[in-house]
Structure 1
Amino acid sequence: MSPSRSSNALASDNSVVSLNQKYGQASTDLFQVRKRSGEVTTFDAERIRVAISKAFLAVEFPENSNAIIPERIHQIADQLTAQVLSVFFSRMPTGGTLDIEQIQDQVELALMRDGHQLIARAYVLYREAHALARQASKETQDQNEPEPAFEVQGENGQNWAIDRQSLIELIKPLAIGLEAVDLKEYTALIFDSLYQGIAQAELESSLLITASSLIEKEPEYDALAARLLLSQIRQRVAGTLQLTAIDADALATVKASLAIGIENKLINPQLAEFDLAKIAEAINFEADKQFSYLGLQTIFDRYLLHVNDQRIETPQLFFMRVAMGLALNEADKETRAIEFYQLLSSFDYMASTPTLFNSGTLRSQLSSCYLTTIPDHLDGIFDALKDNALLSKWAGGLGNDWTPVRALGAHIKGTNGKSQGVVPFLKVANDTAVAVNQGGKRKGAVCAYLEVWHLDIEEFLELRKNTGDDRRRTHDMNTACWVPDLFMQRLEAGQSWTLFSPDEAIDLHDLYGKAFEKRYLELEKLAEAGELRQSRQIAAKDLWRKMLGMLFETGHPWITFKDPCNLRSPQQHTGVVHSSNLCTEITLNTSDTETAVCNLGSVNLPAHLKANGDLDLEKLQRTITTAVRMLDNVVDINYYPTEKAKTSNMQHRPVGMGMMGFQDALYKKSLSWDDPKTAIFADQSMEVISYFALSASSDLAKERGVYSSYQGSLWSKGILPIDSINLLENARQPGQLQMNLTQQMDWPALREKIAEQGMRNSNLLAIAPTATISNIVGVSQSIEPSYSNLYVKSNLSGEFTVVNPWLVKALKAEGLWDEVMVNDLKYFDGSVAQIERIPAAIRAQFATAFELDSESMIVAASRRQKWIDQAQSLNLYMGQPSGQKLDEMYRSAWRQGLKTTYYLRSLGATSTEKSTVQQGSLSSVAPVAQPAICSIDNPDCEACQ
């Protein structure tokens, strides 16, 4: 393209239509520009085009400022200016005042969007250089002027003054060791926002907000924000307890915290009977410094006990109170409490949210999950709804098996009428969950399960739709399909499927495997002969298509598999698994008379890796041995809202140990999800957790006795989870089960140990979502891949910028972490896939969930499942979903022996705002559409973790 306009004619001339005319002078007149001096002037779009042209000139002709600019640059400048203007027109259609920084922010983004990364970088550096020059000029002027000081109104009524230097001195102790924190820049941002008479609370808020706003630029500001918040928490708790400082006298602090808690009927008086001197000596207040800002804010908002909204404990007092509550029945309760405390405060393991909420309190409801079966009569149905309300009140997540309830149109013998089916009762259950929140701390939540042979299954699939009769919709309830293997076999063979009403086919509810198939075929013959009042035949593929269609459209119902859950259950001799729980990781027997209960906790996997990336087996064994003891203690200490729950839990004593931080462990090992070593690591890490958990439970059985229903269990027959795979394989047709069977630990020796000592717990392993407790610990959720490398997380504690510290570390090592990179991450919604200057190996390692092949997640889950006696909360991600991909994905999950699946995640329209890190409404990280776990504290799964 031939050059045309010269560099000294950057302004529009006769050969170019004025940009103000091109985009409408009337439109641009709606805007004004606020300069840095505060002066407001008219908006001129031509200035934007000039600036862009100059940026290209500076990069492409650095040695010749008088070079003739090619026409293509003018055309690019026109196009980019149009992009910038379109942003302002769309966001402020009625006009308004724009800061000069906002305009420059959009110029940067326009350059990056169009692929001009070098130009954008030069533009950023140009802005930074001018900013430094302005600051230097300001400092020169400031040297000749007296330093201003601002009066701060203290909360205790005493005012005090603060100037720039004293502000730096105030923050400096909290920034020790944070080399990347620029105290000068940070305090300058704060100081510029101060005013005479500012309240202390507002100053503290400004300190936190400013630090958190810089996290996306430098992750170490997260640590600074956490330390600032911790300082504020300690000051306030000390004031409430009438102490000079929290850590000045640990014994006095412990006594004061317990005394006020007991006085206000928040803490169990038995905690005061401990040897408090020994307890106080063990508290490590310095452990608070390992919290992230999000983790500490979460602890403060939701877990620390308070009186009249004044906290009476700090995080370490909180962990000790939880530990003491779990050690109440121990013979040497102080030693055990300290052991439990050290495990929690180290973040090597974390108990579930209900345990953290209520341990050591007067009403110690510590269990996470409750599973019930709803009977087919009015008394039973409404008793079950009452149980739902009571269980939800004390922070339990609910899984309801609704399969026994007769279908629409079924005969009612007592009234000689026709049933309205299961849907109206599900509507009541939905509204009950909304009405009865969890102790005033979070919304109640429930998941309804229905077997796919139920005559109401098609209407059940539509419960979460936003269209149709709202009286037959449950917008707040989770739903899941309970799928027998026979349905999947019919689907594979392209055959039909028959639907029945439970009042005529109720025995199917308690059958699985070959017995289910035999009875199902008998019922089909009865239906063909016209001997059943109600039945309907449908192509299996049509029902499957509708299941997947609704799953994609509404996120429900989840797909869970009945036969793997039952055929591999250790407790086959005592009943049937009729459903999973709220988060699909618990698979325990339920009946009209038995409510299954499970107590959860999770191992912090990356905390158990050595520097070389190998598993630290000795540390894992110590952690798991202590954790299993804590979980078993929950069974005896727990407050049970219903008698059916107590009876079940005391008889079987199930617990669910899981893991969190799997993605962080991959980062630590420098593994990507598509690396074959990832599946091997998933296998090996779950194997050792399973091995040590089973061993610890057996040791507890030797110390405390086996659980009541042990005899007849798979454990008692020497059949461990790895062995139960054979039971599933024998029940399926050849080739329908594809599970890896390799093993590394000494399982024969463990079988002998269990044969001699028995087991303390009927079930031991389940991987829960861990959304909230992983926030506390500061690791990735559960077994989830990374959702994004830069986003804002929204929950009940507020909005928090989250930047992947592992990515930042990797990019810093390559010299690639700068403001342009932050802007790139924002523009690409936290994805590195399209940022070509990042090396391919790093892009592969930090691929986000929607960029992964779902098969890699299924394979890793299958390798874990062989060691787990229950199940795992497995979200599946699909960036570009299609019917064929969904079909292949869920069929693969079934073939590879998974017991359950959880949410299907597809890529939505909501994304990170395309803007820079500069402050302002047009320049912030916007919240990303987070995975909605359990529909409780979206995006947190609060029922289980």
Structure 2
Amino acid sequence: MIKSIRKRDGRIVQFNSEKIAAAIAKAFRAVGDDPGAIPAKLACKAVDAAEQKFQKSVPGVEDIQDIVERTLIEEGYAEAAKAYILYRQRRADVREAKCYLGVADDLKLSINAVEVLKKRYLRRDERGEVVETPGEMFARVADHVSLAEGRYGCDVEGHRLKFLRMMRDLDFLPNSPTLMNAGLDLGQLSACFVLPVEDSLTGIFDSLKHMALIHQSGGGTGFSFSSLRPKGDVVRATGGVASGPVSFMRIFDTATDVIKQGGRRRGANMGVLRIDHPDIMEFIEAKERPGILENFNISVAATDTFMDKARSGGEIQLVNPRSGEVTGSIEAAELMNLIATSAWRGGDPGIIFIDRINAAHPFPAQIEATNPCGEQPLLPYESCNLGSINLSRLVERGELNWDRLRDLVSLAVRFLDDVIDMNRYPLRQIQIATMQSRKIGLGVMGFAEMLIKMNVSYSSPDAVRLAEEIMSFISAEGRAESARLGQARGSFPLFEQSKLRRWDAMRNSTVTTIAPTGTISIIAGTSSGIEPLFALAFVRHVLEGARLLEVSPLFERAAHARGFYSPELRAEIARKGSVQNIAHVPQDIKDTFVTALDVPPQQHVRIQAAFQKYTDNAVSKTVNLPSDATVSDVLNVYNLAYDLGCKGVTVFRYGSRSQVLYLGNLETLPGCKFCG
């Protein structure tokens, strides 16, 4: 009787015949068959054959798989055998690619996940060689963050194991700097920072220095340049004239270009200017020339007054922030059209609804800027720790497991609060401001894949309803956990000055944020944030000169189950990215597997608004527009986003400028290129 099996890495482990049955069942389902009890019977035959062959030795994994192949063929299941062989070959390709990357993958992650981890996350020795597996990275993070539990007399080891499990299972992942730096000398764990920019040469270059330190530690920075005097204004100290906010932004951009965040990724910035600043028109068009402000996202801070006048008619006054004097006026509708036209051309600027942000902010102090992707409004010197729950892993038998979600929310809030205590802040001012408010931002990823598993179209009213239900649940459970932590550990220091003082206690002034999860969603093997799938298939470079066609596993599974899968279909999807114009794909499959450009712009906005309704901070979401969209389409998006209660909105017209994602592109990464 076979008791042991040799793994590919040489380890001898206990033999489990149930794994053979499960693999055979997967092969049957891949060709659209319901195998019933057949896999168990075939597994018994394969085990009998293995016992005859390996009476005096330990078989290897490949030996057993060879026997399974022969058993399927001999028993007359040629199609299932073919599916099993193809699966083995794909897994071999994946292992070869990972070997080429030089990473020992102990969690069986995707090639893309391993490649991202190697480039940005895994610990290296002094020679630059990777000396950490993905599992060891998660253990390093859990070891470090759980130490905070000891400060409050709690069970460090128990929480270490819980934190480790939810990360290893890919149910929850924190923002990139936490994965990169926890337990290492750098120790900076936050993704989001906002720095003030004062209207003086000293103040400007202090901010530049502080930005450099934050970028070096792995964080991204947001700035409001609204306090800087406009171009041509007097500079009394020198008798000269000011060059204006945009010129100083170029200095920040150039400095960012030469600093790699934490030595692993380039810096990222958000630049914000109020709609009533005299230089607003220059700011709106600042990124239209190639090569200018490439390390910045830019957003216009639009007031309620501006939005009202842009639609009903009227002028807004332009005010010199140095003197408070009105320097001119402009038709609000004309300015709105300029914003929409520039965004139509290249995606920038975005709009943030600054009055709405401040109305929802728990403190009287006024927010002026956000982090690079716009989901985290912060006061000057504040930082925030983000993390996201993987919704796609919570679907069981077509339904969301609300109990598992509740447990994950509570554990994730605790984890993020511990991160605040274990963080090593790049500036003393940041440590003080962060500890005063203890802001965290728990969000989600995998929303699109969750919908697919539940057979719900992203374009449907049901998707909007689910978005509201899920975020309402996360918000309520997250706030309840923060209240429990507040009672046990003490409320955030500014609690009595906040709008939350009606509670008995509260540990964190904000709890929820929807981040883009650009790279952590790759690690988790799911869709980015709350975005729809960008495409159903990609061709990626792997190995030297080799290419690997990747089709959405969920789509492949559905196509096999429904009997319309073929190699030709894979190739056609890779060319088109979508199935909407492929004739022989059933309509219900087309409805379920919509991609970003298949979803109407209005539905993008409705999904964003549904999440924003129950999110403390803000929501990172791109409203994708087809290449033939008009400026009027952009204006309609702005108006709908404002009417539905969003705190900001970003549009991107396909092909309007260089972008991270392309249909048919050979190397593609989903999500915002700045936030992780």
Q: Give, in whole Å, the separation in 2 of the partners of 1:806 and 1:691.
A: 31
Aligned position for 1:485: 304
- Tell me which residue corresponds to 2:375: 585
Alpha-carbon deviation of 1:834?
1.0
What letter matches 1:393 in structure 2? Q
Alignment match, 1:602: 388
Residue identity in the other structure for 1:314: T
Question: What is the match of residue 41 of structure 2?
Answer: none
Q: Secondary structure at the match of 2:242?
A: strand
Alpha-carbon distance between aligned partners in 2 of 1:339 and 1:537, rounded to the nearest angstrom: 58
Within the candidate set 258, 278, 281, 1:435 is matched to 258
Could you state the TM-score of these two structures normalised by the residue count of structure 1? 0.60
CA deviations on 1:644-669 (whole Å, 9 max, x unpaired) are 11111111110111100000001011
Q: How does 1:897-912 map to 2 (within 5 A)?
A: 897-907=645-655
Distance 1:537 1:831 in 2: 47
Q: Secondary structure at the match of 1:901?
A: strand
The DSSP-based 3-state class of the residue aligned with 2:411 is helix
Tell me if the contact between 2:173 and 2:388 (Cα under 8 Å) persists in the aligned partners.
Answer: yes
Q: Which residue pairs with 2:47 in the alignment?
A: none
Partners of 1:696 and 1:405 in 2: CA distance: 41
Identity value in percent: 28
1:820 aligns with 2:568: yes
| Superimposed CA distance per residue, residues 764-808 of structure 1 (whole angstroms, 9 cap, x where no aligned partner) | 111111111110110000001111111135899998643111111
Q: Deviations over 1:393-449 (max 9, x none)?
A: 000011111100010122223234321111221110101111111122011111111
CA contact under 8 A between 2:386 and 2:416: conserved in structure 1?
A: yes
Shift in Å, 1:302: 2.6
1:676 maps to 461
Q: 1:302 aligns with which of 116, 120, 145?
A: 120
Displacement of 1:545: 1.1
Aligned to 1:738: none
What residue number does 1:465 align with?
288
The 8 Å contact of residues 514 and 618 in structure 2, kept in 1 or not, is answered as yes
Q: 1:555 to 1:219 in 2, by over 3 A?
A: farther
Aligned counterparts of 2:421 and 2:64: Cα–Cα separation in 1: 43
* Separation of aligned partners in 1, 2:480 and 2:333: 44
One-letter amino acid matched to 2:629: P
Q: Within the alignment, does 1:384 sit opposite 2:274 as a pair?
A: no
CA contact (8 A) 1:631 1:655 kept: yes
Alpha-carbon spacing, 1:625–1:220, altered in 2? closer, same or farther (3 Å)? farther
Q: Number of paired residues? A: 600
Q: 2:328 aligns with which of 520, 530, 536?
A: 536
Residue 644 of structure 2 is matched in structure 1 by 896
Give, as a single letter, the amino acid of the residue that structure 1 aligns with 2:474.
I
Give how far 1:836 is off: 1.1
Deviations 1:368-401 (A, max 9, x none): 0101221111111110010110111000011111
Partner amino acid, structure 1, of 2:286: L
1:886/1:607 CA distance change after superposition, 3 Å: same
> Alpha-carbon deviation of 1:712?
2.8
Distance 1:403-1:173 versus aligned 2 partners, 3 A rule:
farther
Q: How far off its partner does 1:909 sit?
A: 9.6
Q: Distance in 2 between matches of 1:463 and 1:712?
A: 39
Return closer, same or farther for 1:233/1:413 CA change in 2, 3 Å cut-off: closer
Distance 2:653 2:466 in 1: 24
Q: Which whole-Å CA distance do the structure 2 matches of 1:831 and 1:453 have between them? A: 42
- 1:776 is aligned to 523
Q: Which residue of 2 aligns with 1:887?
A: 635
Say what the alpha-carbon RMSD is for the aligned residues.
3.2
Aligned partners of 1:177, 1:378: CA distance in 2, in Å? 75
Q: Could you tell me how far apart the structure 1 residues matched to 2:87 and 2:281 are? A: 49
How far apart, CA to CA, are the structure 2 residues paired with 1:549 and 1:232?
46
Q: For the residues of structure 1 that align with 2:372 and 2:296, how far apart are their CA atoms? A: 10
CA shift in 2, pair 1:230/1:824, >3 Å: closer
Residue 481 (structure 1) shift: 0.8
Match of 1:323 in 2: 142
Partner SS state of residue 232, structure 2: strand
Deviation of 1:223 after TM superposition, in Å, equals: 4.4
Determine the C-alpha separation between the residues in 2 that align with 1:832 and 1:582: 33
Name the residue aligned to 1:85.
none
- Map 1:849-928; keep pairs closer than 5 Å: 849-879=596-626, 880-907=628-655, 926-927=665-666
> SS of the counterpart of 1:299?
helix
Within the alignment, does 1:419 sit opposite 2:309 as a pair? Answer: no
> CA deviation digits over 1:151-196, x for unaligned, max 9?
xxxxxxxxxxxxxxxxxx98836979999xx99xxxxxxxxxxxxx
Partner SS for 1:502: coil
Please give the secondary structure, in 2, of the residue aligned with 1:328: helix
Listed one character per residue, the Cα deviations across residues 843-864 of structure 1 (whole Å, up to 9, x for unaligned) are 1221211121111121122121
879-888 vs 867-876, which deviates more? Answer: 879-888
Alignment of 1:565-644 (within 5 A): 565-571=357-363, 573=364, 575-590=365-380, 595-613=381-399, 615-644=400-429
Higher alpha-carbon deviation: 301-310 or 345-354? 301-310
Describe how 1:832-851 pairs up with structure 2 within 5 A. 832-851=579-598
SS, match of residue 871 in structure 1: coil
Query: Residue in 1 aligned with 2:6?
Result: none
The change in CA–CA distance for 1:797 and 1:781 in structure 2 (over 3 A counts) is farther
Change (3 A) 1:388 1:218: farther
Q: Who wins on radius of gyration, i.e. which is larger?
A: 1
CA contact (8 A) 1:584 1:871 kept: yes
Code of the aligned partner of 2:334: D
For residues 797-831 of structure 1, give each alpha carbon's deviation from its aligned partner in whole angstroms, at most 9, with x where no partner exists: 9986431111112211221111221232134x211
Tell me the alpha carbon deviations over residues 491-525 of structure 1, each in whole angstroms, 9 at most, x when there is no partner: 111212221221123xxxxxxxxxxxxxxxxxxxx
Distance 2:64 2:110 in 1: 14
- The CA distance in 1 between the partners of 2:207 and 2:64, in whole Å, is 53
SS state of the match for residue 301, structure 2?
strand
Q: Which amino acid aligns with 1:680?
A: R
Structure-2 separation of matches of 1:417 and 1:795: 56
Partner of 1:694: 479
Contact 1:874 1:900 (C-alpha < 8 Å) held by counterparts? no
User: Residue 297 of structure 2 contacts residue 373 of structure 2 at CA under 8 Å; is this kept in 1?
Assistant: no
CA–CA separation in structure 2 for the residues paired with 1:795 and 1:783: 28
What is the match of residue 660 of structure 1?
A: 445
Alignment equivalent of 1:710, drawn from 472, 490, 495? 495
SS of alignment partner, residue 650 of structure 2: coil
Q: Which residue of 1 aligns with 2:675?
A: 944
- CA deviations on 1:519-540 (whole Å, 9 max, x unpaired) are xxxxxxxxxxxxx4x6122111
| Higher mean C-alpha displacement, 334-343 vs 362-371 | 334-343
Q: Return the alpha-carbon distance in structure 2 between the equivalents of residues 172 and 907 of structure 1.
A: 46
Instruction: For 1:896 and 1:797, locate their aligned partners in 2 and report how far apart those are by CA, in whole Å.
Output: 49
CA contact (8 A) 2:375 2:515 kept: yes
| CA-to-aligned-CA distance 1:696-729 (integer Å, 9 cap, x gap) | 1111111110000011312113xxxxxxxxxxxx
Long gaps (5+) in structure 1 = 1-168, 184-213, 238-284, 506-531, 718-754, 915-923, 934-940
Q: Given that residues 551 and 570 in structure 2 are in contact (C-alpha distance below 8 angstroms), is that contact kept between their aligned partners in structure 1?
A: no
Amino acid at match of 2:261: Q
Matches within 5 A, 1:751-830: 755-756=503-504, 758-792=505-539, 801-827=549-575, 829-830=576-577
- For residues 266-324 of structure 1, give each alpha carbon's deviation from its aligned partner in whole angstroms, at most 9, with x where no partner exists: xxxxxxxxxxxxxxxxxxx97x13x2221123223332212123332222122111100
The offset of 1:910, in angstroms, is 9.5
